Structure 1
Amino acid sequence: MPLALILSSHVAGSQVGATAQAAALAPFGIDAMVVPTVLFGRHPGWGAPGGAATPIEIFEGMLEGIAANGLLGLTDLVVTGYFASPAQVEAAARAIDTVRAAPRQGAFATAPTVIVDPTMGDEGKGLYVPPATAEAIVAELIPRADLVACNAWELQWLTQADARDPMAATGAARGLGKATLVSSVRRGDEIGAVLADESQAWLALHAEADRAPNGTGDLLTALYAAALVEGQTPSHGLARAVGGVAETVAAAKLWNAPELPIVAMGARLKQTSPSVRIERLA
């Protein structure tokens, strides 16, 4: 079965970061190894999160334990997200290199896929990690990515180019020089995501909800990661991933849930949504 390594936040009481992504990968039969960068009780958007950053010696020690069991050579998917320090970023970069260099006898995929979500800021909040951490992500992780999964604000920060509408996001993504999945892209009263590389660009849109719990970007990254592991076409993978997010947000509203009901959605995450429109941009 496919195996993922997720290097991001563990938040006990909120469906965000690695917590959300491990839950989202499960219906696709993808097991997840989570090495947490922080141990929080709740998302900081609710207030003081409780907990603390994972000390670097513990973060590195967990990676060493995984490596000692031969699991890095069996890792099919690496997903990086929130980091608390440059030292964690550097350790993540070394782990990616080890995954890529390890013999893959018995692995599900012939080669691992590395997805870097540069979780560093958002519209209205600006940069919410220390500048040194953001700079380490740019220097160490973006070059190692097979896919960069970011929100529109982060793409603008990375490229210094407008990325708020679909065509602008496509241009900015191509300026980054990496296949890029851009969330929080708006057109009129709709919201969605752009998937772009040097050869093609796709847009998936749906009506914007009046309220969405935290973690939609993390969920989108995980759902598209599952599509890559399965070998889905870019257009179908994007439509299904965006649809999974839209349906989960709608379910949260219907059930009056303060967090994304990812586990309750279950197999519905694997289905396309009639609320999502997909179109080719380039």
Structure 2
Amino acid sequence: MTTPPAHDPSPAPTVLSIQSHVTVGAVGNSAAVFALQRMGVETWALPTVVLSNDNARPHVAGPSLSPAELRSIVDAMAGNDVLGRVDALLSGYLTGDTGPVILETAARLREESPALMYCCDPVMGDADKGFYVPPEVRRFFCEQAVKACDVLTPNLFELGALTGSRPVTLGEIVDAARSLVGRGPATVLVTSVACRDLPGDRMHMVAVRARRTLLVSTPLLDAVFDGSGDLTTAVFLANLLRGRDLAEALGRTAGSVHAVLSATARLGRQEPALVAAQDLLVNAPAARTWEV
């Protein structure tokens, strides 16, 4: 009897994800880590805060990690000689004094791996809530993170905050995103797009590079979700790390996130039903994309 050859899978990319952790819910790392891992990406989670849940609930408690504590964890990783294994840095929700640690960590990772991808989700607020981070976090994203990252994933409200504008048409959204590309990131993904000249019964995302702009649309769901932006960024990053071009990465991201949120809505939940809908992260049909 012939023994079949052993399966030797290609090495999985590795992400260091620095953002919030919640015990109950699916925001920050509590959404990103599972999604990335289910999509075949090794993920190391470093929390900026450890909370009972997100701020949408009436009670929330938990500590923040200080810059010194975050640095000590990264120092230990360096001492264990594992920083060179990181292919991408993902940052999301930050506290007022942890922004510099993100930039320091990105620099240390790039010393080990010059091709490191830094994906920044500039978590600042949303149209229906306004800002929910202090001014120093907003300044960090606007003045420093934009120049340091390779991929930037603002929602429409955050795009306006980053550019000092209030874009209300697709052309204005593209112009604002392209102005950010001119300041640093190679790719800007604008999530949760709603504007005057796009259908209001669909949810849109726009991906912008220096010489390319793509639009994707999925049916609008009659529900409100917590953590959908964190999930979108993680899924988009996973697709990029798997070597997919911009159009395929955008289409797969929109298809997967829409499928997961549709399943979430059917279950009557507000937090993405990642465990129940996990196969949709990898098997959902890609949404169609258009050149703009």
What TM-score results when the alignment is normalised by the length of structure 2? 0.89
**1:208-227 to 2 correspondences below 5 Å:** 208-227=220-239
The within-5 A match list for 1:220-259 is 220-259=232-271
CA distance in 2, matches of 1:23, 1:163: 33
> Counterpart in 1 of 2:174?
170
Question: What one-letter code is carried by the residue in structure 1 that aligns with 2:104?
Answer: R
Whether 1:101 and 2:95 are equivalent positions in the alignment is no
What is the deviation of 1:277?
Answer: 3.7
Provide the C-alpha distance between the structure 2 equivalents of 1:27 and 1:204, rounded to a whole number of angstroms: 23
2:77 matched to 1:66?
yes
CA distance in 1, matches of 2:251, 2:45: 27
CA contact (8 A) 1:17 1:81 kept: yes
Pairwise CA distance, 1:43: 1.0
Q: What CA distance in whole angstroms lies between the structure 1 residues aligned with 2:46 and 2:281?
A: 24
2:102 — aligned with what?
A: 92
CA distance in 1, matches of 2:275, 2:76: 28
Q: Which residue of 1 aligns with 2:192?
A: 184
Moved beyond 4 Å, runs of 4+: none
Q: Which amino acid aligns with 1:20?
A: A
* 8 Å CA contact retained: 1:166, 1:203: no
Query: Cα–Cα, structure 1 residues 166 and 269, in superposed 2: closer, same or farther, change >3 Å?
Result: farther
Residue aligning to 2:139: 135
- How far apart are residue 272 of structure 1 and its match? 4.2
1:48 and 2:52 are equivalent in the alignment: no
1:13 aligns to what? Answer: 24
Using the alignment, how far apart are the partners of 2:201 and 2:134 within structure 1?
Answer: 33
Letter in 1 for 2:17: I
Shift of 1:165: 4.2
Change (3 A) 1:252 1:137: same
Q: For residue 98 of structure 2, give the secondary structure of its aligned residue in structure 1.
A: helix
Q: Which amino acid aligns with 1:216?
A: S
Which residue is equivalent to 2:9?
none
Cα distance, 1:11 vs structure 2:
0.9
Shift of 1:140: 2.7
1:242-279 residue CA offsets vs partner (Å, 9 max, x unmatched): 111111111011122332111322232123437x4421
Distance 1:68 1:165 in 2: 50
Which AA in structure 2 matches 1:8?
Q
- Structure 2 counterpart of 1:107: none
**Structure 1 residue 25, shift from structure 2 partner:** 0.5
1:59 is displaced (CA, Å) by: 1.8
Contact 1:20 1:218 in 2 (8 A): yes
SS of match in other structure, 2:221: coil
Question: Cα 1:164–1:11, aligned 2, differ >3 Å: closer, same or farther?
Answer: farther
1:27 to 2:31 alignment: no
Tell me: CA distance 1:204–1:15, structure 2 relative to 1, closer, same or farther (3 Å): same
Q: Secondary structure at the match of 1:191?
A: strand
Structure showing greater radius of gyration is: 2
Instruction: Flag structure 2 segments of 5+ consecutive residues without an equivalent.
Output: 1-11
Q: How large is the Cα RMSD of the aligned pairs?
A: 1.6
Give CA deviations for 1:178-224 in whole Å, capped at 9, x if unaligned. Answer: 32000010232211211001110111111111113201111110111
Distance (Å, rounded) in 1 between the aligned partners of 2:288 and 2:73: 42
1:91 counterpart letter in structure 2: V
User: Does 1:126 pair with 2:136?
Assistant: no
State the alpha-carbon separation in 2 of the partners of residues 273 and 168 from structure 1: 30
Task: Look up the SS of the partner of 2:15 in the other structure.
Answer: strand
**For 2:43 and 2:129, how far apart are their aligned partners in 1?**
30
**Cα offsets for 1:23-72 (capped at 9, x unmatched):** 10012221111111111111101123211322222222222222222222
